[in-house]
Amino acid sequence: MYIHKQWINSTLWLMPALSAYEFEITFCIYF
């Protein structure tokens, strides 16, 4: 859970515009 949260924070910090697209993929993988 910590790694997952850290990954999201890094993505949001690095690519705010791309985070939404990446989060969609992550959401499908984890759920």
Residue 2 is predicted with a pLDDT of 57
Task: Please tell me the pTM assigned to this model.
Answer: 0.25
- Cα 27–chain centre separation: 8
Instruction: Tell me the per-residue pLDDT of 15-25, one tens digit each, with 9 for 90 and over.
Output: 655 667 777 77
Taking the CA of residue 16 as centre, how many other CA atoms within 13 Å lie in the half-sphere pointing to its CB?
1
pLDDT, one tens digit per residue, over 1-11 is 555 677 766 66
CA 16 to chain centre: 10
Cβ contact 30:22 at 8 Å = no
Delimit the domains of the chain by residue range.
Answer: 1-31
Q: Where are the alpha helices (DSSP H) in the chain?
A: 2-14, 16-30
What is the C-alpha to C-alpha distance for residues 31 and 28, in angstroms, rounded to an integer? 5
pLDDT at 28 over 70: no
